[in-house]
Structure 1
């Protein structure tokens, strides 16, 4: 990166599979990488969130609704950017670019015609903010045979890798993914499976809440082995990397099918919640143990705020040290948003992103399309 890049500002926008809001961060390039300057999370308008959930769950949408939701989500992103700029007293002219992940509505990396679809019209974001917007980060990787996900391991390597030290960066959003940062090899990363998604869906079904704050619902229950075993037997967990997944695979309907297959077994709602937490913890830690010797595991994403999940991760990884990314100077809730600010910078400088080992692409590609206001 040229010396002139130091001090430049970028904005990252991230809305993940949890659909809990839009994370917005202003980040600045410094000699150590990127540092977080300001950040916020903006709730999605309830009607928009419901539409997105329905589209993701039903896997069906008419063209007019798709176009309107694409428009609505972009306006929500632009509004969030403008509000953060106002609150942080930073002018739009000071921002080099916005990196917008968009909202994934369908991710299908397997099969003869793989694709990944994100909404959030970058033209509108650029027009409403007056800032160049970089978006559509996944599809060029897929054009070269990759999964298009996860994208953040390259950022984790750039920002968090340490010479002579092995580390794991664990992001627990709706889906959980790991980045294995070996001191002497290239980064490895993939989706381990569900993170918060099933837990969020289950508590929303029973208590109309977006998530189980402080794991209070889960802590009322006990792990149900009769339910846990079939969940763990899903073929995804035996699949070799590179691999990625999403709401298309692991969703409330999938969970309800598992429960229906276990009739006449009865599980209390809080026992299911506790079992889902254990399911996430086991599938995450089994992959970390498979890929690493004892080292530090740094957690980011909403799962970092779940005390019971963090306890279970540490208990299942007794030889590892489980921390969150705050100790690495980035708020665990905004690591992914900072990653998309970084990806925007890489696109402006036309730097290929080293993801071959992560996504399975046969070529490292320059990712993202540029939309100028």
Structure 2
């Protein structure tokens, strides 16, 4: 028999809303025509990988050396880890060595390995809302409890509220910048304030929570926003990330965990994350794309088309009267359900679907009363969606 909690998750509307909408979109396009369905459901980057990545793929594919596709150390090829350390050092402003990097099967694997390494059954992971919907499942995978903390103004970090939720069972605080679903980029001052709260908590209970920074959208920012370097602000911190969004390689499942060299248990944590790769069944990150990314991680990418589409969609929503939080990064708009609508965010998404607009309810992200639009879609989808948004808003009067 299927485990009861899995049955509950599989049947939960909020737990599967994004993928279900995406699959419904495929079916609706067959009925109504692709140009008449406006699918903003899935954050699937639509830029092609940069030329440097494609050239690296071709180069690695020509390698016929004996053992080229065999096992390597669980944490990844040493030279690849060194390259990732060079990348992290440039982002964090702190010298990181390859021994502090573990290659993983995407950011999801990275997060699960970190949580497996630090969460005891019943431990808590504190996360500011709204957040990536899968966090609930990832924490539960390891017997943990997700503690949701409301955001501050403009979806900023409410550091005081986070501090109030810290307990002796707090294993980690998990933040995502740029944030999915809001696109908010946390300021350095917010990270410094959070670090101070975490240090004071550690002094009071002798347990320093690990600060986990989920950063797959780090490179995709607008309006001069800069992702703050956590390693400079808080010693017991890690970065988990992937190359799914910045290099447009979501299907290749390649990411890493980088542990701050200042972490009080850095070596032990790297070892635990590496061991977690084994016990979670990943074994190691894909050999082929470890080599590809090590040769091309610094490829130049033009993200201006995302910014252009962001601006275009905001203009449309302004005209039809739907409020939203202006994103500073990633490729999502978090929009407010109109106040005059009598139902919740799921019901409003149903209304939009009636007009062939597909999006994700905010409740699944810990943001009830809101809904998420992923604008990594063709410009024609955005332009032509205005009539559908307008018709949906008109229907509620």
User: Shared fold (TM-score greater than 0.5)?
Assistant: no
What is the TM-score normalised by the length of structure 1? 0.28
What is the TM-score normalised by the length of structure 2? 0.27
Q: Which has the larger radius of gyration?
A: 2
